[in-house]
Amino acid sequence: MRRLGVMGGTFDPIHHGHLVAASEVQSKFDLDEVIFVPTGQPWQKSQREVAAAEDRYLMTVIATASNPRFSVSRVDIDRDGPTYTADTLRDLADRYPEDKLFFITGADALEQIVSWKRVDELFDRAHFIGVTRPGYQLDGHHLPEGAVSLIEVPAMAISSTACRDRVCAGEPVWYLVPDGVVQYISKRGLYRC
Local structure of residue 136 (DSSP, 8 states): S
Q: Which amino acid is at 149?
A: S
Give least dist CB 98 to ligand ATP, A. 26
Does 76 bind ligand ATP (CB under 6 A)? Our answer is: no
What is the per-residue binding string for ligand ATP in 39-68, x denoting contact by CB under 6 A?
------------------------------
User: ∠134-47-111 over CA atoms, to 5°?
Assistant: 35
Candidates 4-12, 24-32, 59-67, 78-86: pick the segment binding ligand ATP (CB under 6 A). 4-12
For residues 145-184, which are near ligand ATP according to CB under 6 A?
Answer: 156, 158-161
What is the per-residue binding string for ligand NCN in 91-110, x denoting contact by CB under 6 A?
------------------x-
Helices and strands: H and E segment counts in the chain = 7, 6
Q: Put residue 181 in one of left, alpha, beta given phi > 0 → left and psi -120 to 50 → alpha.
A: alpha
Instruction: Give the largest Cα separation in the chain, rounded.
Output: 48
Q: Which of 6, 21, 72, 129 binds ligand ATP (CB under 6 A)?
A: 21
- Beta carbon nearer to ligand ATP, 22 or 97: 22
Does 44 bind ligand NCN (CB under 6 A)? Our answer is: yes
Would you say 99 and 113 are in contact if contact means Cβ atoms under 8 Å apart?
no
